Structure 1
Amino acid sequence: MMTEQKQLLSGFGPDTTAQEVLAGQDLSGKVAIVTGGHGGIGLETTRALVSAGATVIVGARDVNKAQEVLASLKNTEVIKLDLSNPASIDEFVAIFLRSNRALDILILNAGVSFPPTIKDARGFDTHFATNYLGHFQLTIGLWEALKRSGNARVVALSSVGHMTGPIDFDDLHFTKRSYDKAVSYGESKTALSLFAVELDKRGREHGVRAFAVHPGAILSGLTRHLSNEDLAAWGVIRHEDGTFTSSGGFKTAEQGAATSVWCAVSPMLYGKGGVYCEDGDIAEIVPSDSPMFRGVRSWAIDPASAERLWTISEELLNIPQGIIPR
């Protein structure tokens, strides 16, 4: 049975931190993977899970940098992972599977935002390929480890950026349309939300549940490719030393990690999945033309679109159908 896309009135909100979500929980013996878990909200996600007793494997493009950042945290491991490189994803999967561990939590946190190169070596749109397809390939590869848990959760970081519109299935890589960086980014985040819908449908009988998350607006490293003009439109000033001044509305990294952690561990979500969440709760569905930077639009949780995207993704990545059966 599908989980209703309706708020649970969890008691959490936009100011809740990951540590507050975890209060009183013991994750000893749990194994988690957090892609990009060494920076921004990913780092706060790693810190929170480790503080509750979990072992966290961080996927990182720069292993040395990640190891330096995580050196003070116990029970962390780093494996090289470049989500734009299919061979790197396969190698990450192979290394993890060789450990014969069950995977209890998979947080698809890493991503790119407005990168300078808009197409990858395959001619795929960079946002779509890195943010979504790379995580799709990773999850498929880790499927047996997720099943082995018997009670696994997959958390895909979407974004309110999905509000730019539904996926154009006839032009995923902007070969017909004029490239629009906001639309490109938004479609990759819609894709991650739809991925959670379809993965949850396929995984629930195996004890694998999936959630999409809007972490909130955070001034992190993802802003590095934005121009000062782009930031000014959001009321943000970037200073020469790399710091920011904003007119408000932004979360701290600790607050940004809260919903990811809530979806990964909260007892409130037992038996639930396939929903889009924000501010430590299931989000409300809002009208398609809503100007609000909150809530989920219907196209990001549409089951038919989710199934269509899954099939297209298997074809794009030459993944045999049925590895995760319908």
Structure 2
Amino acid sequence: MSSHQHPIGSRFTAAATASDVLAGIDLSDRTAIVTGGYSGIGVETTRALREAGARVVVPARDLAKARRTLAGIDVEIEPMDLVDPGSIDDFAARFLSTGEPLHILVCSAGIMACPLARDARGYEMQFTTNHLGHFQLTARLWPALARANGARVVSVSSRGHRIAGVDFDDPHFNSRPYDPWVAYGQSKTANVLFAVGLDARGRSVGIRAFAVHPGAIVTDLARHMSREDLIARGAIDDQGRPVIDPSRGMKNVCQGASTSVWAATDPRLEGIGGVYCEDNDVAPVMSDADAANDPTGMIRGVRPWAIDPVAADRLWGMSESLTR
């Protein structure tokens, strides 16, 4: 566990927006890649980084949708599909061919609680999309990240990591019954462990990594949830309107993008990495007692299994094997 896994006294509140945390920060000499940068909180992440001066590249599986969604924002859109290893390699090769450094990589793309589906390799789709695709992308972009002499990688996780750890014996639900929420929780724990493992391997060449919980935001990510389920979880009201209450983690997309760009840019994080953040600060570790007293998942914190360096190493080795 990182000795830095505790709040550092950020001056921003849970209600801060991405624009708030970037106020006064000049990114005109920085290049950023934002996966999922044309959907949900990814759009606001892209917009905020671009408005702060960064060159922003958005890899997209659906190019037409990306162009529509990002119309009016001066960004570069490139084809890439996180469940297609060849597509990831092609995207990374194009970027590396420019010889330019990569200062910020925000791994924001993801899916949630979908019915059982598998990629062409037979891997469970949430694990592939949310973790393995980003693992391969980061590995391929390593030379550009190292060239930045101070890169940051942000892995967008969730409080959903509390649902489940990684089942190293059966990550793809080949033997155990498939549960869409357990699969989601496993992939979100993998996002945090990935940041822990990446930071341990990258810090010597200036690559630092962070995992973030953006908040509970009603976006297309929730497309597999019914209206009744969203109401029961307090995500929307009886009229179908999103509930916004940052004090309880219920945010709009501008607030939801804030912790990602805070982790990617805030100078207070110099010398820190491999930590899980939420509400624009490093989160505390959540004890079993806190978890037992938090049935609605509103208490801030990260579960110990998600920041365990031994588990992070084990996931790293498994991910190398699965992505070859």
* Superposition TM-score, scaled by structure 2 size: 0.93
Q: Does structure 2 retain, via aligned residues, the 8 Å contact 1:3–1:273? A: no
Aligned-residue offset at 1:236: 4.0
Question: Deviation per CA, 1:161-200, whole angstroms, max 9, x where unpaired?
Answer: 0111221111101122111111100110000100000100
Between the aligned partners of 1:231 and 1:180, the Cα distance in structure 2 is 18
2:266 is aligned with what amino acid?
S
**Which residue in the other structure is 1:183 paired with?**
182
Q: Does structure 2 retain, via aligned residues, the 8 Å contact 1:211–1:273? A: yes
**Which residue in the other structure is 2:134 paired with?**
135
Cα RMSD after superposing both structures: 1.8
Between the aligned partners of 1:79 and 1:316, the Cα distance in structure 2 is 25
Between the aligned partners of 1:247 and 1:70, the Cα distance in structure 2 is 24
Q: Does structure 2 retain, via aligned residues, the 8 Å contact 1:8–1:281? A: yes
**Which residue in the other structure is 2:241 paired with?**
244
SS in 2 for 1:212: strand
Q: Does structure 1 retain, via aligned residues, the 8 Å contact 2:115–2:180? A: no
**Which residue in the other structure is 2:157 paired with?**
158
Aligned-residue offset at 1:239: 8.8
Aligned-residue offset at 1:65: 1.8
Percentage of identical aligned residues: 53
SS in 2 for 1:156: strand
Match runs of 1:207-226 below 5 Å: 207-226=206-225
Between the aligned partners of 1:301 and 1:125, the Cα distance in structure 2 is 23
How has the CA–CA distance of structure 1 residues 124 and 238 changed in structure 2, closer, same or farther, with 3 Å as cutoff?
farther
2:316 is aligned with what amino acid?
W
Provide structure 2 residue ranges, at least 5 long, that are not aligned to the other structure. Answer: none
Q: Does structure 2 retain, via aligned residues, the 8 Å contact 1:228–1:238? A: no
SS in 2 for 1:210: strand
Provide structure 1 residue ranges, at least 5 long, that are not aligned to the other structure. Answer: 319-326
Between the aligned partners of 1:245 and 1:155, the Cα distance in structure 2 is 26
Aligned length: 315
Question: Deviation per CA, 1:71-96, whole angstroms, max 9, x where unpaired?
Answer: 3122x100111111111111111111
Match runs of 1:2-21 below 5 Å: 2-21=2-21
Between the aligned partners of 1:211 and 1:192, the Cα distance in structure 2 is 9
Aligned-residue offset at 1:246: 3.8
**Which residue in the other structure is 1:322 paired with?**
none
Matched, 1:301 2:307: yes
Q: Which range moves more in the overlay, 253-262 or 219-228?
A: 219-228
Between the aligned partners of 1:272 and 1:256, the Cα distance in structure 2 is 22
How has the CA–CA distance of structure 1 residues 26 and 191 changed in structure 2, closer, same or farther, with 3 Å as cutoff?
same
SS in 2 for 1:124: coil
**Which residue in the other structure is 2:71 paired with?**
71
**Which residue in the other structure is 2:50 paired with?**
50
**Which residue in the other structure is 1:317 paired with?**
323
